[in-house]
Structure 1
Amino acid sequence: MLGIGEFAGLTGLSVKALRHYDEKVVLVPTEVDALSGYRRYGEGQVRAGVVARALRDAGVPLPAVAAVVAAGGASDALTEHRRRVLEDRASEDRAFAAAEEVLRALAVPVAVDEREMARQPFVGQVISVSVDDAESLSDEDANAVFGGLFEQLQASGLGPSGQFWTTLRAGERGTVEVVCCWPTPTEVDDEWCGPQTFAGVLPARTELVATWRPAEGETLPDGPTHPAVVALFDAIAGRQIELRGMEVRQTVLGQSEEDYAVEVSVSVETR
């Protein structure tokens, strides 16, 4: 029989660890003195102690180590743990690369200006999604809505009369709404609108607008808030503008990589 100090020296496990493993029923000593509480280990437990230390040094969770010891050392716990570690590492690498892309994009200078805009009729369609599931909304979803609206307007001879935009706003009961809008040359009657579309008018207004153009070769990861939105709110804070009924509008400009830009605007005053 081996005392706890001798067993610790042979296996490389600390006395503190051995006491903990006993309490957690990972590596239980062969006998414990009823009066002194002194632990003694059998010579045949040295292998289990060495295996336990190796697995714990590799980061294998304690319950899995206990299962290996109970099975006499025959287990694929190390292989399974390595698989999980490699998956986590790959996920961390992807998150790190995405964070680098976000920080590079935020470092690109964004022009922010005020401009006067005339009254603008439009038609729109709402895509509603749960706040908790907002990331499930894709560009394909919005493109499908824009395509359907465009065909309706073309068939009715109503344009559209310019570039489409999207608006993000809070919905009802824990939802967020993305409103897909096309400008029209004239106001559209409610009778023209179907159950999913609506007509509206942007009033004459003063807008604060941020225009973002990517640096050469730069791309944005999916999901994060667009750098133009960040720059716009930097400018709102810097100019101490108090927004009422905030509605942020986002428009994609350009037809190719050479003239691609994203424009984000918010009304600071209506007329």
Structure 2
Amino acid sequence: EPAPEESSDGEATPLSEQKQWGFAVSAGAGIAQRSSSIPMEGGAARLSTIPFPAIQAQVLGYVRPDASSRYRLALAVRYTTSVGLQGRDERADGSTRTTDMRAHHLAIGLRNDIPLAPGERPTRLQLEVGWGFRMLDSEIPVSIPDYTLSGIYARIGLWFHIGDSPLSLGIVPEIGHVGSLSDDLSQSGQVQDGFLVGAEAHVRLQVIPEVSIHLLYREAHAFLGSAREGGGEMNDAERYGILRAEYQF
């Protein structure tokens, strides 16, 4: 997310804003939901979850052209995982069963934060390109095989401040191509590559120049075609709300 602003009350600029490079670490928790449907030989198999606890961590390393610049180039790594996930397996014959599962999402991307105006509190354009992994696995066999979806993604976000307050808002749409999937999924569902579409909404509170609090909501869907006779497609959906704290140094 955008770099912290310098203090406006005449105090010394924090050390993190005097350097051409630095790091930001954030972690938090929230509530998530996951669902999936796959065309199988006996009909569509579906898996859904009740809302479950999730944790998220992010590490970001950045550089600037010079210490006074508001532009920065960063490498960002984000990881989100489930805690106590219960999945509901909805089988093609109409029966259901519940089982323990794990859901994961890992994203590694190169990010550009670009100020759109001069000054200490400019609106920012955030561009990110990277590779993402979405995983779902069960402790016991279910109708849907354990799977991993991965591929390139692009995020184009806009961040802007709310007047002179310490609050800022961010809207971050995302698109991607799912070009790699696990063997069990491609064989059982004859699933092919597809695309990803999603978005995030952020609210950020700058507590002090080095510390901020973020509230975010994300929803993203992956759609993959199937070579199975009769057509159909796979749909993997993730939704979560996360509250996390960030420290920049």
Q: TM-score range by the shorter chain?
A: under 0.3
TM-score by length of 1: 0.20
TM-score by length of 2: 0.21
Bigger radius of gyration among the two:
1
The structure that is helix-richer by fraction is 1
The structure that is strand-richer by fraction is 2
